[in-house]
Structure 1
Amino acid sequence: MEAWLIDSFLSYLRFELGCSENTARSYASDLAKWAAFCSQNDISPVPPTQDGVVRFLRSLAEDGISRASIQRAAAAIRSFMRYLVAEGLADGGERLPPLPAKGKILPQILSEGEIERILASCDGKRDIDIRDRAIMECAYGCGLRASEVCGLELSSLDWGNEAIRVRGKGNKERLVPFLGSVRRSVERYLKESRPHLDKGRCEKLFLSRSGKPLSREDLWRIVRRRGKMAGISSSRLHPHVLRHSFATHLLRRGLDLRTLQELLGHSTIATTERYTHFDLELRDVYDNCHPRA
């Protein structure tokens, strides 16, 4: 998105609508996030479209952004659209979604069968097949955020304690069980695939074809590609879909909310409680619950 367009919009907010400086700055931040999201997902940011805005707001929810912040982002985009129409830069025919009500933006998940299909799409002997299987197993089997998957290092693997040390939001560290098919897939990756990808002693666990640390954009492309191979609509895929599926499947199998909070690295139980909208029954213990354990 052109910088002059945002500057012009901010002037419109300040001088024509009389918005406060704080509101203008907040809207500028929201539009910057919108522009970045559009760039990453091959969406045209101007003018905003209903489908694009819905996907953007859902991605904010999936990143754990508060409802109030999501509502503000929606308001910012609607104000931006009104500005574009007023300036003759959009025709006003596009109907944007209404401002989200509290509790209405919820994470999408995949079924256990769809997860199995995505994992099966990684079956193969190529280096990237073995790598992608390990990535998918870690993202789903450990419930990791996209940034956490990309941030894993060789030293993150605590083999003796069968755990992965994960550096999450706020630089907080947590231990996540490293068991079953998750461990086996990573062991295979380290033995058969990673040595061929590593071009220069990189400490990051997951590497791109060129031997560089895996980026969030790389991870997103992998998720989309494997999802397409598994016959899953791209509209249901996002970088955090495996994490959200992990949480929901564990709740369905009876894991208590407090344990799930620790596994996900949520600072408050309220964030974890959003997964209970799937009308789940609760029971006990991680390694008896998780389908990949």
Structure 2
Amino acid sequence: MAYIDYAAEVVFAGKSYEKFPLILDNNHNINRLILKYFLSQRVLWADSTIYTYTKHLYDFISQLEVENPECTFDHIDDDWLEAYAHEIARRNPKSTGGKYIAQILSSVLNFLVWCENNKYCNNLIGHNANFRIRIRPTKKGFTHNLIKYYEKQKSPPKIAPRDEWIEKLLSQDHFRSKDLEIRFNLMLEWGRSCGLRAHEICELTIDQIPSRETVEQNIIEKKNTFIELTVTKGKKKARIPVSGILLKQTLDYINSERNHLIKKFKKKARSERNAYIEPYQVFISCRTGKALHYRTFSNQLNARWQKAVENGNLTKYQHVWVHGLRHRFATDKLKEITHLKYVRDPRQVTKTLTRHSHASTLDIYTAGVYLEDMYD
């Protein structure tokens, strides 16, 4: 059975890669074809892209091993690809609609196109009827009928993570460092109480956070403080209300845990005679000293949720994910506003609060409200 392993560190053309992924067979032999593919693309791909492709191609190689130990492409054609897509769906019944299947198929087809172009296979994949797998050219490259089909498959409605699920997740001991725990909890609260997307949380800047005097005065007066979002979906600026308590906790983090990190990286840079430029974002990585990437936050939350499931504190159906925090915010607002008699159109008000362009986008949250009521 194939498996994924990681080289501690490899250096290609002077650039160092930590935990470079490798796919090995049951005899611990490296799949050299996939390694060559990764090496040819390493300049174009971000590190996270390599890890994603590794998982997808590992799935592909594992499927080939079931059918032939040599993992050859001789029997692969459009019919095989369709059967493979059905097998992915069978093995991942809880995947989000067809998006996950489309992503794997896209990764596999990109790999096969590279193999065809580099003469590692012949007449396997191309744009005309001479090839066993038929792809269609697009402005961005190519696509396949199966990819288009699964991309259109909508995700089934899901219940937004309930507050009790989130609290159980937060009660898990996950990070070794208290500083990481504080940062994680704070970022999660920005998603839950303000409805921010993952990249919006990670792009919050020091300048956007009001002064402590303003925040404390608003807490005394029981008023929200408004902040301007400059990095949003669609790049539209937005003004949102934020509770004084959350802003005070954020200021405490900036002045304590974040400040300690900045001092640490400045000291390290001086000792190595390098320049360290402090990032303007609020949340920074304790490993690199740079702004925390939104995928890192998403992966941390997912790992913590999986641990809670393994420990029996949550079930696999009590899903907590980063964008689910925004669903929790939107669902709560929709419920709250619906019960206000003086609001004529709750969906329009909720649309404004969640910064959606169209009220029809709220259908997923409306479905979530009904699902919650069914299970209550």
- 1:19 aligns to what? none
- 2:324 aligns to what? 241
- 2:284 aligns to what? 207
Q: CA RMSD in A?
A: 4.5
- 1:224 aligns to what? 302
Question: Does the 8 Å contact 1:122/1:130 carry over to 2?
Answer: no
- 1:179 aligns to what? 243
Specify the SS of the correspondent of 2:56. coil
Specify the SS of the correspondent of 2:238. strand
Q: Does 1:274 align with 2:337?
A: no
Q: Return the letter of the residue paired with 1:226.
A: R
Specify the SS of the correspondent of 2:337. coil
Question: Does the 8 Å contact 2:337/2:350 carry over to 1?
Answer: no
User: Once the two structures are aligned, what percentage of the paired residues are identical?
Assistant: 22
Higher strand share: 2
Question: Does the 8 Å contact 2:96/2:156 carry over to 1?
Answer: no
Higher relative contact order (CA closer than 8 Å, sequence separation 6+): 1
Question: Does the 8 Å contact 1:123/1:130 carry over to 2?
Answer: no
- 1:253 aligns to what? 336
Q: Return the letter of the residue paired with 2:207.
A: S
Instruction: Show CA shifts across 1:261-292 (max 9, x none).
Output: 22222111111232101345xxxxxxxxxxxx
Deviation of 1:197 after TM superposition, in Å, equals 2.1
Q: Distance in 2 between matches of 1:220 and 1:157?
A: 23
- 1:129 aligns to what? 181
Instruction: Show CA shifts across 1:118-147 (max 9, x none).
Output: 344489982111111211111111111111
For normalisation by structure 2, the TM-score amounts to 0.49
Deviation of 1:253 after TM superposition, in Å, equals 3.0
Question: Does the 8 Å contact 1:123/1:133 carry over to 2?
Answer: no
Q: Distance in 1 between matches of 2:50 and 2:335?
A: 34
Question: Does the 8 Å contact 2:160/2:368 carry over to 1?
Answer: no
Q: Does 1:168 align with 2:232?
A: yes
Deviation of 1:188 after TM superposition, in Å, equals 2.5
Question: Does the 8 Å contact 1:153/1:205 carry over to 2?
Answer: yes
Structure showing greater Rg? 2
Deviation of 1:180 after TM superposition, in Å, equals 4.8
Q: 1:37 to 1:202 in 2, by over 3 A?
A: closer
Q: Distance in 1 between matches of 2:181 and 2:225?
A: 24
Deviation of 1:243 after TM superposition, in Å, equals 1.1
Q: Distance in 1 between matches of 2:245 and 2:173?
A: 13
Q: 1:135 to 1:120 in 2, by over 3 A?
A: same
Q: Does 1:156 align with 2:208?
A: yes
Q: 1:142 to 1:218 in 2, by over 3 A?
A: same
Return 5+ residue gaps in structure 2 as ranges: 1-32, 38-47, 61-84, 114-122, 125-145, 215-223, 266-276, 339-345, 371-376
- 1:111 aligns to what? 162
Return 5+ residue gaps in structure 1 as ranges: 6-35, 61-69, 88-95, 281-293
- 2:131 aligns to what? none
Q: Return the letter of the residue paired with 1:115.
A: I
Question: Does the 8 Å contact 1:137/1:185 carry over to 2?
Answer: no
Q: 1:38 to 1:140 in 2, by over 3 A?
A: farther
Q: Does 1:43 align with 2:55?
A: yes
Q: Distance in 1 between matches of 2:299 and 2:244?
A: 26
